[in-house]
Amino acid sequence: MLELILFYIFAAITLVSAILVITQKNVVHSAVFLASTLLSVAGIFLTLHAEFLAGVQVIVYVGGILVLFVFVMMLISLERSTTERQFSRQWMIALIAAAALIAELGYVIYRGKDSFVLPAADAQAAADTLTGNTEVVGTALFTSFLLPFEIASILLLVAIVGAVVLAKRKTQVD
Amino acid sequence: MVSTYHYLFLGAALFTVGIIGVLTRRNILVILMSIELMMNAVNINLIAFSHHLKHPTGQIFAIFVITVAAAEAAVGLGIVIAMFKNKETMNVNEIDIMKW
């Protein structure tokens, strides 16, 4: 019962602040509501017993990506952007398309509710998840998923170099 | 008891909010934020299934999604800064040099 209450609280905060992210005129307000969305998604992860992912969510998203967003807002002049028109002309079509999308997704999930019976987890795996989430994730990451893990490090290196090259100020040599 | 379907509906709703943000806003920073919202929706689905199947693979996938989101935000914001230096605007409708 407590789980259900927590789920509904976090889901409500997530959705309301997500809607506020896309409706606020000022980008700084959007960033603040994005922080609230990301933190409540971390709460959702906690209700799913993914404690490690909740920590990663808070550290990487709120501590990293969001700070990056705020830095960029600091670098560019915000006064101009608040006076510009914020919504595009085809917002009506966009809303209709989004309504069709949510109807489709909702219908599919609702229809699958009975036919979509997943196999019962075996006892060993269930026991594994009880021994500590970080341990299980770490073991899987460094055994079965070692190669993707290393490739992810190369992706991050490329992203660092790319970001520096893109945002670099033109020097005298150029 | 919270069922997996609760999480699937939440993921679908959050994804749709992200789609609406990308389609209706003209500020490139808000568009990038909407993409982050969509990635979060995907992560909720992945971890919900990981919990449902009692298997950690979904969480590993979520870690990789977060990695890609971090890389995407770094490169995307680099592009935003480069764009602002060249055209002094955040409005995606004014970035139309490639448009024929």
Put simply, the answer to whether A38 touches B82 (Cβ < 8 Å) is no
Put simply, the answer to whether B60 touches A69 (Cβ < 8 Å) is no
Put simply, the answer to whether B30 touches A97 (Cβ < 8 Å) is no
Mutate to test the interface with B, among A10, A15, A76 (most CBs of B within 10 A): A76
Q: Does B87 touch chain A (CB under 8 A)?
A: no
Relative orientation angle of helices B4-24 and A91-115, to the nearest 10 degrees: 170
Considering only the beta carbons, identify the residue of A27, A145, A148 that sits closest to B29: A27
Sequence-distant (6+) residues with CB within 8 A of B50 are A48, A50, B56, B57, B58, B59, B62
* Domains of chain A, first to last: 2-109 (1.20.120.1200)
Could you tell me which chain A residue has the CA closest to the CA of B8? A109
Give the whole-angstrom CA distance, residue B97 versus residue B91.
13
Residue A173: the pLDDT is 58
Put simply, the answer to whether A41 touches B68 (Cβ < 8 Å) is no
Q: Does A94 touch chain B (CB under 8 A)?
A: yes
Mean pLDDT to the nearest integer, A65-84: 80
Considering only the beta carbons, identify the residue of B9, B27, B93 that sits closest to A109: B9
B99 in a domain, yes or no?
A: no
pLDDT band at A174 (very low <50, low <70, confident <90, very high): low
Put simply, the answer to whether A22 touches B25 (Cβ < 8 Å) is yes
The ipTM is: 0.92
The residue segments making up the domain with residue B36 are 4-94
* B69 and A61 Cβ atoms separated by less than 8 Å: yes
B100 in a domain, yes or no?
A: no
CATH number at residue B28: 1.10.287.3510
The CA–CA distances, whole Å, from A114 to A53, A106, A117, A151 equal 29, 14, 7, 39
Q: Is B37 exposed, middle or buried (0-12, 13-18, 19+ CB in 10 A)?
A: buried
pLDDT band at B2 (very low <50, low <70, confident <90, very high): confident
Q: Does B45 touch chain A (CB under 8 A)?
A: no
Q: What is the DSSP string of chain A?
A: -HHHHHHHHHHHHHHHHHHHHHH-SSHHHHHHHHHHHHHHHHHHHHHTT-HHHHHHIIIIIIIIIHHHHHHHHHHS-HHHHHHS--B-TTHHHHHHHHHHHHHHHHHHHHHHHHH-PPPPPPHHHHHHHHT-HHHHHHHHHHTTTHHHHHHHHHHHHHHHHHHHHHHPPP-S--
Put simply, the answer to whether A109 touches B15 (Cβ < 8 Å) is no
Closest by CA to B44, choosing from B22, B66, B23, B29, is B66
Sequence-distant (6+) residues with CB within 8 A of A82 are A25, A26, A27
Q: Does B65 touch chain A (CB under 8 A)?
A: no
Domain count, chain B: 1
B19: left (phi over 0), alpha (psi -120 to 50) or beta: alpha
Q: State which of A38-42, A45-49, B78-82 shows the largest mean pLDDT.
A: A38-42
- pLDDT of A130 > 90? The answer is no
Mean pLDDT to the nearest integer, B41-67: 91
Residue A127: the pLDDT is 54
Query: How many contacts (CB atoms, under 8 Å) link A and B?
Result: 233
Q: Does A126 touch chain B (CB under 8 A)?
A: yes
- N residues, chain A: 174
